[in-house]
Structure 1
Amino acid sequence: MEEPGQFKRALLDATAGAIAGGISRTATSPLDVIKIRFQVQLEPTSSWALIRKDLSGPSKYTGMFQATKEIFREEGLTGFWRGNVPALLMVMPYTAIQFAVLHKLKTFASGSSHTEDHLNISPYLSYISGALAGCAATVGSYPFDLLRTILASQGEPKAWNRLRSSSTSSSTDNSLSSFQLFICGLAAGTCAKLVCHPLDVVKKRFQIEGLQRHPKYGARVEHRAYRNMFDALHRILKSEGCHGLYKGIIPSTIKAAPAGAVTFVAYEFTSDWLESILT
């Protein structure tokens, strides 16, 4: 008798998560594009180049505001939403899987399908549930993440023109206010980005290795430039310094805070709206 109810809850969580993720991703796309441009830029930024007396030439993007003006000047307003279609195809299944799996895991851990009872599980189980949900979501949405990086990393003239050519969180108590949800999402998104950013830089380098890029955007990542994750971390650290592992951290952090907050709030409102329709 409980199977239909569990399926309904999973469908509701997945739908609400997908809608919330789509809203959040579209709203923060400009910051994501700027972040990716920095992450795939091999040349050290001007400050680190001066420290090392690097004579390889200036980098295309040297600061967040300079990058914003440069992208707008060369590509127009639409340049800030480059790769948004595969990004939506990535983030919507990602958040759908994330919220659905997270609710299922917390239901299993607490022995109850009620959201209120999920708050009673230990922080360790909550953390493990969130981590497993994130892993499942990442695996399910990775192909679109790859396409998003390829399209968002290029400028003008384009090497890849469209999607087809480039392809040849925890649940919260319903009694929490929107402001509390906003703050929770803000804190979670910011902390996660600060800790995981170096690995995100490495991931982006692997995703674009060997791809054509216009020379004015600097050196490209050659095919098999890095043997593995640890080799990539070592090489980036050696040639670009600690700063290289945190390229794009400013737009990434600025993006993560509102993205997490918007996702939490949009999920809560969408979930309540869908529940009122289905009941």
Structure 2
Amino acid sequence: MFSIIVFTITLSITYKKWFSDGHSKLDLHQRFIAGSLAGVTAQSIVYPMEVLKTRLALGNTGQYKNINDCVKILIKNKGITALYVGYIPNLLGIIPYAGIELTVYESVKKAYNQKYGKNPSEPNIFVHLGCGTISSTCGQLGSYPLALVRTKMQAHAIVRGGPDLSMHSHFYNILREEGLFGLYRGFTPNCMKVVPAVSISFVVYEEMKILLGLNSN
């Protein structure tokens, strides 16, 4: 998880440079687009590993010898698309999540700098951790329902003989059986896992900017 987050943040630096002329600061929508593009790129690359993780975690004991065996069985039975089960809701979820997370992080940090008269490079580690916590929580609130549906689709694909349910069908079933709160089932433990990782990653992000000689735009 940590490596994926750092990868996403690093990609956002590249995408932000596309929008920047080197002098003016990026607008809010440009930060959002850069964050979303970074999230989509990173998740598209690593998504098969998410599917394999779910398969190995929920599969029967001895069902797969190792990760390579899992890949071979999935491709043999259902083709390469088996490695991208739930990709669409994941994609729809990562766009607002990554965009909101990176936009909120830099907006909160900017507000802190303006209020206390600090330069962008001066906030200490606790400020960066605090900004990361706020931004990650906002991102989770906006995208968690789609992440839940993605996980359900991955888990449902393991059931043999069961009907293939679409993203819309999973949404409908959750709302029918559990209501709106059902879309946030497991939200608290997920935040307990994700928020600290994201907060620490933003500290790494700030250090990488200094190392790479990038400005704060």
C-alpha distance in structure 1 between counterparts of 2:72 and 2:121, whole Å: 45
Structure number with the higher helix fraction is 2
Q: Which residue of 2 aligns with 1:35?
A: 53
1:56-101 CA-to-partner distances (Å, cap 9, x unmatched) read: xx34234211211121121110111111000001111100110110
C-alpha distance in structure 2 between counterparts of 1:61 and 1:9, whole Å: 49
C-alpha distance in structure 1 between counterparts of 2:94 and 2:168, whole Å: 18
Indicate yes or no: 2:77 matched with 1:74. Answer: yes
Cα drift, residue 158 of structure 1: 4.9
- TM-score (ref. length: structure 2): 0.62
Indicate yes or no: 2:39 matched with 1:21. Answer: yes
C-alpha distance in structure 2 between counterparts of 1:69 and 1:128, whole Å: 43
Q: Which residue of 2 aligns with 1:119?
A: 121
| Counterpart secondary structure, 1:20 | helix
C-alpha distance in structure 2 between counterparts of 1:36 and 1:59, whole Å: 15
Query: After TM superposition, which residue ranges in structure 1, 4 or more long, deviate above 4 angstroms?
Result: none
| Counterpart secondary structure, 2:27 | helix
- TM-score (ref. length: structure 1): 0.49
- The 3 A distance-change label for structure 1 pair 122 and 142 is same
Contact 1:10 1:103 in 2 (8 A): no
Number of aligned positions between the proteins: 155
Cα drift, residue 32 of structure 1: 1.0
Identify the structure with bigger relative contact order (alpha carbons < 8 Å, sequence gap 6+).
1
Q: 1:84 aligns with which of 75, 84, 87?
A: 87
Cα drift, residue 20 of structure 1: 1.4
- The 3 A distance-change label for structure 1 pair 30 and 94 is same
| Counterpart secondary structure, 1:111 | helix
- The 3 A distance-change label for structure 1 pair 96 and 158 is farther
- The 3 A distance-change label for structure 1 pair 92 and 158 is farther
Q: Which residue of 2 aligns with 1:105?
A: 108
Cα drift, residue 157 of structure 1: 4.4
Larger radius of gyration: 1
Unmatched runs of 5 consecutive residues or more in structure 2: 1-23, 178-187, 190-196, 210-216
| Counterpart secondary structure, 1:120 | coil
Percent identity over the alignment is: 20
